[in-house]
Amino acid sequence: IAKAEIQHNMWPDVITNLLTKLNTPVDDAKISSLEALGYICEEVEPQHLVQHSNQILTAVVHHMRAEETNVHIKKAAIMALESSLAFCKANFENKVERDTIMTYICSATQTDNIEIKVPALQCLVTTVELYYHHMKDYMQHCYLITHEAMKHQGTDGEESLVLQGIEFWNTLCDKEIELKEDLIDRGGDAAAAAAAGMKVSMHYAKGAHSSLVPILLELLICQDDEDDPDQWGPTKAAVICLELFSSVCRDKVLPLVIRFVETNLKADTWQKRDAALLAFSAVLKHARTEPECVTDVVNRAILPVLELMQDQSVIVRDSLAFLVGRICDEVPGAVLDSQPHLEAVYKCLRSGLGMEPRVATNACWGLNVLSDSAFEHACNTMDESLAKPKTYKLSPVFGAIVADLFQVMLRPDVSKHNLLAASYEAISTFINSAPEDCYQTVQQTTVEILKRLDQSLHHAAQITSKDDLMKLAETQSLMCAVLQACVKGLSRENMESISDQVMEIVLKILQNPSGSMQEVKEDALMTIVKLAESLGPTFEKYCSHVQIHIIAGLKNTAEYHACGVCVGLVGDIARAIKIKILPFCDDYVSCLIMACKDADLDRSVKPNILSCFSDIAMGIGPLFEKYYEATSEMLFHASKMAEKNTSVESPTDYDEIDHINDLREGCLDGYTGIVHALKGDDEKNFAPQVKLIAQQIQHLVSFITAIFHDAELSDSNKRAALGLLGDIAEIFTTDLANIMPATFCNQCVALGYRSKDSATIEITKFAEAKFASIRPAGGMYNNMMG
Amino acid sequence: RLSQFKAKRSSSDETARREKFLASQKSKRFDRFMWQRGLGVKVFEEPIQQVTVEFVDSSLPAE
């Protein structure tokens, strides 16, 4: 109730009332009040509680003191404190108050009672997350406390202490990675950044790694035969912690890990061999950005490591298959630049396909990643004028791998460990990354997938149970994903000869009972998208057949993912068949407007609807005039909402920031498409309909001015806004001098040039050139504004 | 953290497919705008014709 009411100021005395209850002599009342405070602090946005922070802190801390003998009261107080930390910023800024809070938290960790110790450690985790830059004076204590907690390995019931100890360092490393990335974004000079007031890393992880990494490595050995893959525990936490430490200071962690790998790779227990593989995988996480650090190590280790594919333990082989995938992903050069390594990796993964489902699933993923990396490798070295590489490193075995992956699907245990999905996904990736010399396999796979989809439809007729229907839907969805890759990969000539068959099967799926399942619907619709992309103008013959499904999708706003795909599909059809979409536009535009107005439609779809107006407009050109009023009304309202300054109004609400940036992009795309559509294709004589835009210019300038003041503005927004301003300047050269004065234009250009993105710079140059043509009345398009 | 542990970079799972779809929509639209502005993006060229091989019955194993 408090969560609902406090934000509307409907229950102003709730906190005071609860605090009063803490003064009663009844322990149960105290516990309940502290718990209620804790829940409120956890649920209510910090800005609504900040005014009470002093009272809450005083009361909570009072019940954490040593004299408090009731464990339940103490525990409730610590948990309430943890939830309060978010709005105690002002208290943390004050050294005396900060010292007090930290003293209470650290003292609470020193009790022998695990009920108190665990939430006290959680408090430390939250503190480092929220107040990293205030931790300097307490770091030595935090280190000792968490170090001790992490050493409780193997102690019954004390696993949660180990987890909290590790989580402290996981959180701290997350923070230091974030700071490292921020610094790189701003040029990489830490001293200059610090001098400019930017927060920089304190390198605590680097300082602590030498004593913590050995503990983490030991924790990797503490595995049990029956460890549940879905259960969080110290080994998994230690793997993540090693990954994070490696991302912060790989050069320091690497030697410790390599020594551990060398010692344990051939050890006599599976736990040690597996720990070696887990540690090796962990240290390679995110190594792609600094391959020079790890390439030598991987080159030396790869062949001995691959031998473990013959290990007796399935857990070890599972970890190995995962490690091979990670090597292919993060250090692809170590595999692709050496023929013996490539052959050994291929052989290892291929043998993994025949092993237990969990190993085979990782082997599928390994092949998946290997194909992606090989394709990228080929793209990086091919002639830029080519659309795709002629060949790549896996070409000689391409057909055999795809055939092997199809074989996996015949296994009786294919439903275990997600193996069926992993094999289909691997085939999708192979087809998506097929170079020219593997074209025949793309064709064969197309035929095979169409055959299987057809069989699945026959199978569907015999299904009676919901479970079986869901399984079928999942498989059909995976097959559609492969079909999408096939459609993308086929030549237009081949595609035209087979498109009727593809469309027929997709329409049948959409009409089938399994087609009502959301995932199948989405993937079937996405296959139509690929078909429209691939066929271009000849897609027109299918328009009347797909219309009913698109309209149904646009109206079914409850299934918002499928609705979103339909929005995209309308855009793709418009791009593919251009003016020929006109007969369908009345229906599409009215459904899109209805969806846009629908308060129940998930907000993520709405920006795409606005962008879709752009695709339709550019498809039909000046004839879009008919829809101008209705669509510009939508764009006007949306852009008014998107003027919100998120850096001021919701600086910590990242979902909101992303959404507002998406909404801005939708508006800018929508307006840009309409501007281009209404001006027509003749570069010298603009269509008269372009005059309609004139009435929007003032609004657009104030919208762009507002969003340019938001520090959270995305680069793509910046790019879209500058492009639109350039387009307007090009059309309405005269009379713009008042609406877009030189100062405004110069500021926009300066903002554009601050971007590091080459596309943004290119558009800024375009806008700058067009701004130069803005001049007082009397020019070529003198009457445009009228 | 558990999902962080289990996360693999699977390029074509359902969520990734959806994200790729949305990203490709954005980039196609952006390319189209660039083309309209005469900024030299080749979006409407015919795809390069690959080697044409006759469709034959698949030699792949049947399900």
Give A27-46 pLDDT, tens digit per residue: 999 999 999 999 999 888 88
Per CB-CB distance under 8 Å, the chain A contacts of B22 are: 564, 568, 608
Integer Cα distance of A270 and A312 in angstroms: 8
Minimal C-alpha gap between B44 and chain A (Å) = 10
pLDDT score of A50: 86
Chain-chain contact of B10 with A167 (C-beta, under 8 angstroms): no
- Which pLDDT band, with edges at 50, 70 and 90, does B9 fall under? low
In 3D, which of A282, A139, A279 has the Cα closest to residue A205? A139
CA–CA gap between residue A396 and residue A402 (Å, rounded): 12
Chain B residues whose CB is inside 8 A of the A487 CB are none
Q: Identify the closest residue of chain B to A570 by CA–CA distance.
A: B25
What pLDDT is recorded for position B61? 44
First to last CA, chain A: 56
Reply yes or no on whether the pLDDT at B53 is more than 70. no
Tell me the CA distances in angstroms from A632 to A382, A599, A603, A624, one per residue in order.
45, 19, 19, 11
* B25: chain A residues, CB-CB within 8 Å: 568, 571-572, 608, 611
φ, ψ of residue A645 in degrees (nearest 5)? -85, 100
Dihedral angle sign, alpha carbons of residues A564, A566, A571, A572: positive
Contacts of A68 (CB under 8 A, 6+ apart): A74, A77
Q: pLDDT tens-digit profile of A410-460?
A: 999 999 999 999 999 999 999 999 999 999 999 999 999 999 999 999 888
pLDDT value at B50 more than 70 = no
Nearest CA of chain B to the CA of A684: how many Å? 13
Distance of CA B19 to the CA centre of its chain: 11
A514 by Cβ neighbours in 10 Å (0-12 / 13-18 / 19+) ranks as buried
* Least CB–CB distance from A444: residue in B36, B37, B60: B60
Q: What's the pLDDT score for residue B52? A: 44
Q: Which residues of B touch A167 (CB under 8 A)?
A: 1
Chain segment A68-98, per-residue pLDDT in tens? 899 999 999 999 999 999 888 899 999 999 9
B27 in contact with A, Cβ within 8 Å: no
CA-based R_g, chain A, Å:
31
Among A420, A434, A448, A432, residue whose Cα is nearest residue A360:
A420
Q: pLDDT class for A20, splitting at 50, 70, 90? A: very high
Shortest CA gap B54–chain A (Å): 9
Closest alpha carbon within chain A to B11: A429
Provide the pLDDT for residue A330: 95
**Interchain CB contact of A127 with B (< 8 Å):** no
Which residue from B5, B30, B39 is facing A766, i.e. has the nearest CB? B39
Rounded mean pLDDT, A539-544: 96
Q: Of A299, A381, A363, nearest to A332 (Cα)? A: A299
Question: How far is residue B26's CA from residue A671's CA, in Å, rounded to a whole number?
Answer: 15
| Cβ-defined contact of A387 to B36 (cutoff 8 Å) | no
Average predicted confidence (pLDDT) for chain A: 92
Q: Which ranges constitute the DSSP H helices of A222-308?
A: 234-264, 270-284, 291-306
Residue contact A232–B30, C-beta within 8 A? no
Q: Does A497 touch chain B (CB under 8 A)?
A: yes
Cβ neighbors of A51 (< 8 A, separation 6 or more) are: none
Closest Cα of chain A to B10: distance in Å?
A: 7
Rounded to an integer, the average pLDDT of A234-247 is: 95
CB pairs under 8 A between A and B: 144
Q: Looking at residue A785, what is its pLDDT?
A: 44
Task: Please compute the mean of the pLDDT values over residues A553-565 and round it to a whole number.
Answer: 94
Say whether A481 and B59 touch across the interface (CB within 8 A): no
State whether residue A382 sits within 8 Å of chain B by CB: no
Asked whether the beta carbons of residue A428 and residue B14 sit closer than 8 angstroms, the reply is no
Smallest CA–CA distance, residue A444 to chain B, in Å, is: 5
A55-76 pLDDT, tens digit per residue, is 999 999 999 988 889 999 999 9
**Axis crossing angle, helix A582-597 with helix A543-555, rounded to the nearest 10:** 10
Please choose, from the candidates A729, A722, A782, A784, the residue with its C-alpha nearest in 3D space to the C-alpha of residue A754. Answer: A722
User: Among A223-227, A277-281, A472-476, which range has the highest average pLDDT?
Assistant: A277-281
Residue type, A128: V
Residue with tokens 């503005």: A713
User: Mind listing the pLDDT tens digit for each residue in A283-292?
Assistant: 999 999 888 8
Mean pLDDT calculated for residue range A638-653 = 88
Q: How far is CA A149 from the centre of its chain?
A: 33
Distance from CA of B32 to the nearest CA of A (A): 9
Q: Which of residues 240-259 of A touch B (CB under 8 A)?
A: 240
DSSP annotation of A233 reads: -
Per-residue pLDDT at B36: 86
- Find tokens 């877009």 and name the residue: A740
| DSSP assigned state of A775 | B
Residue A734 phi, psi (nearest 5): -90, 160
Q: How far is A31 from chain B (nearest CA, A)?
A: 30
Selecting from B8, B33, B51 the residue whose C-beta is nearest the C-beta of A723 gives B33
Enumerate the residues of chain B whose CB falls inside 8 A of the CB of residue A676.
33, 36
Residues whose CB falls within 8 Å of the CB of residue A559, separated by 6 or more in sequence, listed in order: A518, A521, A553
**Distance of alpha carbon A291 from alpha carbon A262, whole angstroms:** 20
Nearest to A568 among B5, B6, B21 (CB): B21
CA distance B47 to A387: 7
Set of chain A residues whose Cβ sits within 8 Å of the Cβ of B46: 492
Q: What is the pLDDT of residues A120-178, one digit of tens each?
A: 999 999 999 999 999 999 999 999 999 999 988 666 668 999 999 999 999 999 999 99
Window 290-329 of A: residues touching B by CB (8 A cutoff) are: 322, 325, 329
The token pair at A675 is 């501007």
Assign B48 to helix, strand or coil.
Answer: coil
Residue of B3, B4, B6, B8 best to disrupt the A interface, most CBs of A under 10 A: B8
Q: Are A745 and A774 in contact (CB under 8 A)?
A: yes
Query: Is there a contact between B14 and A568 if contact means CB atoms under 8 Å apart?
Result: no
First-to-final CA distance of chain B: 38
Please name the residue that has the structure tokens 């409407």: B44
The stretches of A559-653 forming alpha helices (DSSP H) are: 560-577, 582-597, 606-620, 625-642, 646-649
d(CA A367, CA A350): 8
Which distant-in-sequence residues (6+ apart) come within 8 Å of A122 by Cβ? A79, A82, A164
Neighbour-count burial for A249-287, b at 16+ CB within 10 Å, e otherwise: bbebbbebbbebbeebbeeeebbbbbbbbbbbbbbbbeb
Instruction: List the single best residue of A353, A382, A492 to mutate versus B (max B Cβ within 10 A).
Output: A492
- Residue B12, pLDDT above cutoff 70: no
Would you tell me which residues 6-25 of chain B have a C-beta closer than 8 angstroms to some C-beta of chain A? 6, 8-14, 17-18, 21-22, 25
Q: How is residue A59 written in tokens?
A: 């009361």
CA dihedral A645, A650, A652, A654 (to 10 degrees): -70
Among A625, A638, A559, A630, smallest CA distance to A591 is for: A630
Alpha helices in A433-491 (DSSP H): 439-461, 466-489
In this complex, the residue of B12, B29, B59 whose CB is nearest that of residue A614 is: B29
Using pLDDT thresholds of 50, 70 and 90, give the confidence band for residue A776: low
Residue A400 CB contacts under 8 Å (≥ 6 apart), including other chains: none
- How distant is the Cα of A702 from the closest Cα of chain B, in angstroms? 22
Question: Closest partner residue to A409 among B30, B46, B63, by Cβ?
Answer: B63
> Is ipTM over 0.95?
no
Beta bridge partners of A734: A775
Element housing A341 (H / E): helix A339-353
How far apart (Å, rounded) are the C-alpha atoms in residues A352 and A605? Answer: 41
Q: Find, among A83, A75, A154, the residue nearest to A114 by Cα.
A: A75
Q: Are A347 and A302 in contact (CB under 8 A)?
A: no
Distance separating alpha carbons of residues A339 and A345, to the nearest angstrom: 10
Q: Is B42 on the interface with A (CB under 8 A)?
A: no
Distance CA A49, CA A53 (A): 6
Query: B42 pLDDT band (50/70/90 cuts)?
Result: low
Per-residue b or e along A648-672, where b marks 16 or more CB atoms closer than 10 Å to that residue's CB = eebeeeeebbebbbbbbbbbbbbbb
Report the C-alpha gap between A87 and A46 in whole angstroms: 5
- Going by pLDDT thresholds of 50, 70 and 90, the confidence category of residue A357 is very high
Q: Name which of B4, B6, B12 to mutate to probe chain A: the one with the most chain A Cβ atoms within 10 A of its Cβ.
A: B12
Q: Do B1 and A451 touch (CB under 8 A)?
A: no
Q: From CA A405, how far away is CA A426, in angstroms rounded?
A: 8
Q: What does A502-529 look like in DSSP terms, one character per residue?
A: HHHHHHHHHHSGGGGSHHHHHHHHHHHH
Q: Which residues of B touch A669 (CB under 8 A)?
A: 29
Of B37, B46, B58, the CB nearest to A492: B46
pLDDT classification of B40: cutoffs 50, 70, 90: low
What mean pLDDT is predicted for residues A490-519? Answer: 89
* Residues ≥6 apart with Cβ < 8 Å to A436: A388, A389, A390, A391, B50, B51
- The per-residue pLDDT for A47 is 85
Query: What's the gap in Å between the CA of A769 and the closest CA on chain B?
Result: 12
